[in-house]
Structure 1
Amino acid sequence: MTVARPYHHGNLREALLCAGEGALETGGVQGLSLRELAREVGVSHAAPRRHFPDRQALLDALAESGFARLGAALSEAVAAAGPHFDARLAGLARAYIAFATARPALTGLMFAAKHQAGAPPSLRAAAEQAFSPALTAVAEGQTAGEVAPGDPERVALVASAALQGIVVMANNGMLGETPVDELLDDVTSRLVLGLRPR
């Protein structure tokens, strides 16, 4: 006799997000199935639909959760770095690289979801909030005379592009024997020099 799976779970939404992130990292977006996740967390196949009406809703929630965690990591990095821009940039860079290389599939999903048409407003807000520590660091660096003047978003975009390049190279095995930390030190020192007022 088959025993019916329970419909309820102590914290089903969080359990599904945790299992979903694991499935995402091992099988990619295409391998993500609400039915399989329900089986993994031990609930009926219909139970996940109380929180996620379809797979896209789950993907959006994973991306939003990822941005919230990234934002917390970047905020902590800035707080720990002290007042000077070069230390803040190094802290931000290390925190971002650590997050993105530990979770390559989630990071890819986050950026794809952020730019998709019809992305939920809460997802877009989470993405903006995640990078606000970087924008604040740039703006405060400009006020202190440590960073060249200009639109803080544009300045932050230049730094982000360099860091994203490292992430893509690291996640695709393109760095060879070069440790990512060593390369990161080189990149951040070059960025600091390039962003200084002339």
Structure 2
Amino acid sequence: MADAYHHGNLRAAVLEKAAEVIEREGPYSFSLRSLAADLGVSHTAPRHHFGGREGVLNALAVEGFQELAETMRSARASGGSLLDAGVAYVRFAVEHPGHFQVMFAPRLLDHDDAELAAASGAAFAELTGGVDTLSERGVAVEDSAAAVVAGWAIVHGIATLALNGNLDTSGVRALFADTDLLTITRRSAGLLFHSPTDGESP
């Protein structure tokens, strides 16, 4: 790993390992020292790239918001609706649980960081921009601000319930004949933002 550090790969390795640890143990128990030990480098090596624990978490959140924005943007660019972007949001969460946990743990992040502000702003712009397309698809939206909050609350809530295991332990998932999470998301979020042009595939 020392060679990887000299070739500039330590930053990527730290973020990858941090996401794995946070997925398993949560963001609040994350330790930069133990992470360095897992990677086989000195405890000071990650500080060269990140400065400290908060720097790693900030970088992970930036990476996550950038990927989330691109995921939703791609869903809409391919002709998808706001509903498709919402399904993409849930897909991102379950595929990147470590990132997702950090992105929405504000007490752990430096919100004065310009890169973080830009990345999160781009992601939320995809949510708000999607609402503007609803009227084009035959969905009446009288309060666009409320529509943004409602849409985000639904998909974020589904993602969180799934990641925490609550959809299963509550028995709610069993209410669906098809227990695929993206199908559940599409049916549930579709109650709010369904339009005649929305497809049925997740």
TM-score, normalised to structure 1, is 0.79
Q: Which structure has the larger Rg?
A: 1
Residue in structure 2 matching 1:62, options 57, 60, 63 = 60
Pair 1:108–1:56, CA change in 2 (3 A): same
Q: Secondary structure at the match of 2:166?
A: coil
State the 1:55 CA deviation: 0.5
Give, in whole Å, the separation in 2 of the partners of 1:94 and 1:149.
20
Give, in whole Å, the separation in 1 of the partners of 2:144 and 2:46.
41
Contact 1:63 1:123 in 2 (8 A): yes
Q: Any stretches of 5+ residues in structure 2 without a counterpart? A: 169-173, 196-202
State the 1:116 CA deviation: 5.8
Equivalent pairs: percent with the same residue? 34
Match of 2:89 in 1: 96
Match of 1:37 in 2: 35
Contact 2:127 2:152 in 1 (8 A): no
Match of 1:17 in 2: 15
Match of 1:76 in 2: 74
Q: Map of 1:114-125 to 2, 5 A cutoff?
A: 118-125=111-118
Give, in whole Å, the separation in 2 of the partners of 1:52 and 1:184.
36
Q: Secondary structure at the match of 1:77?
A: helix
Pair 1:42–1:74, CA change in 2 (3 A): same
Give, in whole Å, the separation in 1 of the partners of 2:118 and 2:149.
18
RMSD, aligned CA: 2.7
Residue in structure 1 matching 2:156, options 157, 164, 187 = 164
Match of 1:135 in 2: 128
TM-score, normalised to structure 2, is 0.78
Pair 1:94–1:103, CA change in 2 (3 A): same
- How many residue pairs align between the two structures? 185
State the 1:17 CA deviation: 0.9
- Work out whether 1:184 is the aligned partner of 2:176: no
